[in-house]
Amino acid sequence: MLRIHANNLPTLRLVGLILLILLCLVVEGIWVKELANSKARSVHLSSAREHYAVVLAELDRRWGQEAFNLKTRIESQNILDDPKGRNEQLQTFLISQGSSIEFPSLRIEKTTGEVIAAYDYTNHANPKVTLLPGQLSTWVRSAADGNLYFVIRQFIWLGKENGYLLLFKPLDHSLLTQTTYPGTRLSLWWKGDATASSDGEDGLRSLATRLQKPEISKTSLVLMWPGPVSDNTPKLLVEILSDELLETGDIVKPMVFLLLLIVTLAIGFSALNLEIAGRAKETTEDD
């Protein structure tokens, strides 16, 4: 059985004090780590929200401008005026523009919906599009390639009557890869499905095992595509990937150092006290 001798009391007090300090240091360390990481995450998320909101708005603006510019270029060259040669002239004009056109696929339709000319820079994109009268744009997913397309429709002059110019912009893995920055991962969601990821096909596969819908969490945020919000509006899920600001190892080192310092000081003070007490005892005995 452990017997506590009166002489051991100061030592026990010292050990108890050191353990208490150690406990406080551990609690403090965990609290500081959590607080710092939480603040860092919050700042990172907030910056990402601000950045990607501007990026989406800028993409939307740029595509709108490019759509307008392309329409005016086609009209100013009178490319569509001659019904017999319009398709050939349009093809020649667009082929020579190379990859500089923002929209890799386009269609020209009569107002009745009859397609009178079409062009594809690479793969043929021909998803079924339904637009209400006066509606300028919509979103549609192509069954052929799985991509979500932003479709812009505008009037175009066909020489003697109006027609529609329909422009197709794919929102694919490539667009998200070029948009993302290190430490974040993007995925595009439409009607409950992830359609593109900044990590490509592997990213979509990983999303399928992790998420069933885009969710806001401590490390992710969701942005709606600019424009009128409806069930048809795509969502951009932004996930923060960067490591935590403080790892456990980062706080253990200063804590150990602080603890060693405190223990050394405590032992030092304790030894000093014992020496003073010893001298005082000797003085009392001498007297």
Partner 1 sequence: MKTSILKLLLTAACLLSWQMAISAEPLRIAISVPGPGAASYYPIELISRIGADKAEGAEVRVVFSPGGPDALNQMLNNNTDFAVTGLPAAMSLRLTDERLVAIAAVNDLPLYALMVRQALKNEVKSIADLKGRTLGLHSNSVSNKSTSQQVLELLFRRGGVPPGSYRIVGIGRRWESEALMLKTGAVDAVIGDEPHATHMAAEKIAFPLVHLGNPEMARLYAGAGFLRGALIARSDKLEKDSGKTELMVRILKRTLAWISNHTAEEFANAMAITDPDDRQKLIAILKKYPRQYSKDGAFSSRQLRETEIFFIDSQAGNELAQNFRINSMINDRWVGRRD
DSSP class per residue in the chain = -----GGGHHHHHHHHHHHHHHHHHHHHHHHHHHHHHHHHHHHHHHHHHHHHHHHHHHHHHHHHHHHHHHHHHHHHTTTTSSTTTHHHHHHHHHHHTGGGSS-SEEEEEETTS-EEEEEESSS---------TT--EEEEE-TTT--EEEEEEEEEE-SSSEEEEEEEEEE-HHHHHHH--TTEEEEEEETTEEEEETTHHHHHHHHHHH-SS---BTTEEEEEPSSS-STT--EEEEEE-PPPSS-HHHHHHHHHHHHHHHHHHHHHHHHHHHHHHHHHHHHHHH-
CB nearer to partner 1: give 243 or 286.
243
Q: What is d(CA 140, CA 232) in angstroms, rounded to the nearest whole number?
A: 9
Residue 122, φ and ψ in degrees, nearest 5: -125, -100
For the bound state, the minimum distance from the C-beta of residue 61 to partner 1, rounded and expressed in Å, comes to 22
For the bound state, the minimum distance from the C-beta of residue 76 to partner 1, rounded and expressed in Å, comes to 18
CB nearer to partner 1: give 100 or 112.
100
CB nearer to partner 1: give 37 or 87.
87
For the bound state, the minimum distance from the C-beta of residue 196 to partner 1, rounded and expressed in Å, comes to 9
CB nearer to partner 1: give 210 or 253.
210
CB nearer to partner 1: give 82 or 282.
82
For the bound state, the minimum distance from the C-beta of residue 150 to partner 1, rounded and expressed in Å, comes to 17
CB nearer to partner 1: give 28 or 201.
201
CB nearer to partner 1: give 166 or 175.
175
CB nearer to partner 1: give 137 or 180.
180
For the bound state, the minimum distance from the C-beta of residue 199 to partner 1, rounded and expressed in Å, comes to 7
For the bound state, the minimum distance from the C-beta of residue 119 to partner 1, rounded and expressed in Å, comes to 10
Reported as type and span, the H/E element at residue 108 is strand 105-110
For the bound state, the minimum distance from the C-beta of residue 38 to partner 1, rounded and expressed in Å, comes to 29
For the bound state, the minimum distance from the C-beta of residue 186 to partner 1, rounded and expressed in Å, comes to 11
Binding residues for partner 1 (CB under 8 A): 88, 91-92, 95-96, 98-99, 121-123, 145, 172-174, 176-178, 197-203, 205, 208-209
Sheet containing strand 184-190, edge to edge, reads 193-197, 184-190, 235-240, 220-224
Q: What is d(CA 169, CA 13) in angstroms, rounded to the nearest whole number?
A: 74
